[in-house]
Amino acid sequence: MTAPAPAPPPGGAAHPGQQQGHLEDVAREASAATRMPARHVATAPPSLRDGRVEAALRALELTVRGRLDGLLQGNHLGLVPGPGSEPGEARVYQPGDDVRRMDWAVTARTTLPHVRQTVADRELETWVVLDLSPSLDFGTAACEKRDLAVAALAAVTYLTAGGGNRIGALIFTGEVTTRIPARGGVMHARGMLRRAAVTPRAPVGTRGDLAAAVEGLRRPPRRRGLAVVISDFLGEPEWERAMRALSGRHELLAIEVLDPRELELPEVGTVVLADPETGRQREVVTTPLLCREFAAAASAHRDRVAAALRRCGAAHLRLRTDSDWVADVVRFVLARKRAWSGG
């Protein structure tokens, strides 16, 4: 994370927010004004910045498997029981076949009535859009948002593993986009998480484009399954149209990664803040009025994001760097299972 310019004491940390008008511009840049003591964190994802990536990923896997294993088995998001919807082979019509499955193109070519068989949806294919743009290279509590985003990817990976399920990822930093094909197996899952953990950080001044990343996942069309978008969703919801189109074919899950300084700003005096996605710097005085206006602007933006995700038909999971993210995932999954069972 790029250090902010010198400032009169007390100092502040850089913030990656994206500007939305004068007030929200200040709010987003000022959300990291200081590092305040975080709430008690029961489980923090291991840091991926100390060079011990393999050990950190192993610890992360043990954490996820130990507390989340078994929560999702038997439930395929968005997949329904029945003969299936994926087109399969065509065969000659037999008495008793459903005439609605007639394949008229093959029938015309062969002059014999044919029906189109379908493939049952027994395996789940999951695709994840992982936002690692510079706005996630920031954290004032137990970890950076980037570490929490990789932890969220691990949770999705191990929750949907097994039974022939496959998972792939599209990792973008604003400068480079990495596409990992969907495959199954433990080795593939570990390799994908390793690729995400060691993805180089984009230089200061690089702006991420979440809408383009989601559109890249939607085209070419993929087998119906689960699509997950992990991001901090800063800035205007220009991604809404692409995500709404994505949810038309897939079950959609949005995981929002937040830091407490993006929600409230303490009174710490004069600070100089830097936005790593634009390179802009600004000196602000954290007066009580500014802190109140900042909290109101931040709350309004989060409400806009939640409303946009509801319009997209996405399930919404919010994770914070100062809370027990594993417990948050457990509560979310259990709530979804109750909804599936009608409880």
Q: What is the pLDDT of residues 224-261, one digit of tens each?
A: 888 999 999 988 899 999 999 999 888 899 999 999 98
Determine how many CB atoms are found less than 10 A away from the CB of residue 273. 25
**Residue 197 · residue 153 · CB < 8 Å:** no
> What is the reported pLDDT for 242?
93
53-56: long-range pairs with CB below 8 Å, 24+: 53/194, 53/197, 53/198, 54/194, 56/197
> What is the reported pLDDT for 119?
55
Q: Is 295 helix (H, G, I), strand (E, B) or coil?
A: helix
| DSSP for 137-179, written as a single string | S--SSSS-HHHHHHHHHHHHHHHS-STT-EEEEEEE-SS-EEE
Q: Give the pair of three-digit tokens for residue 241.
A: 């149209």
Q: Give the pair of three-digit tokens for residue 319.
A: 């994770």
Distance CA 33, CA 37 (A): 13
Distance CA 121, CA 253 (A): 19
> What is the reported pLDDT for 299?
94
Residue from 327, 179, 157 nearest 253 by CA: 157
Distance CA 256, CA 330 (A): 15
Regions of the chain with pLDDT less than 50: 1-42, 74-84
Tell me how far CA of residue 60 lies from CA of 44, 111, 137, 138, 145, in angstroms: 9, 59, 19, 20, 15
Residue from 249, 270, 240, 273 nearest 140 by CA: 273
85-104 residue pLDDT tens: 556 678 899 887 878 888 99
pTM over 0.85? The answer is no
Distance CA 335, CA 343 (A): 9
Distance CA 35, CA 140 (A): 5
> What is the reported pLDDT for 307?
96
**Residue 296 · residue 24 · CB < 8 Å:** no
> What is the reported pLDDT for 280?
85
**Angle, nearest 10°, between helix axes 210-218 and 240-247?**
20
Distance CA 137, CA 159 (A): 26
Distance CA 188, CA 126 (A): 13
Cβ density class 106-135: b for 16+ within 10 Å, e for less:
bbeeeeeebbebeeebeebbbbbbbbbbbb
Distance CA 109, CA 272 (A): 73
180-209 residue pLDDT tens: 999 988 899 999 999 999 999 988 888 888
Residue 310 carries which side chain, given as an amino acid letter?
R
Q: Give the pair of three-digit tokens for residue 197.
A: 């953990």
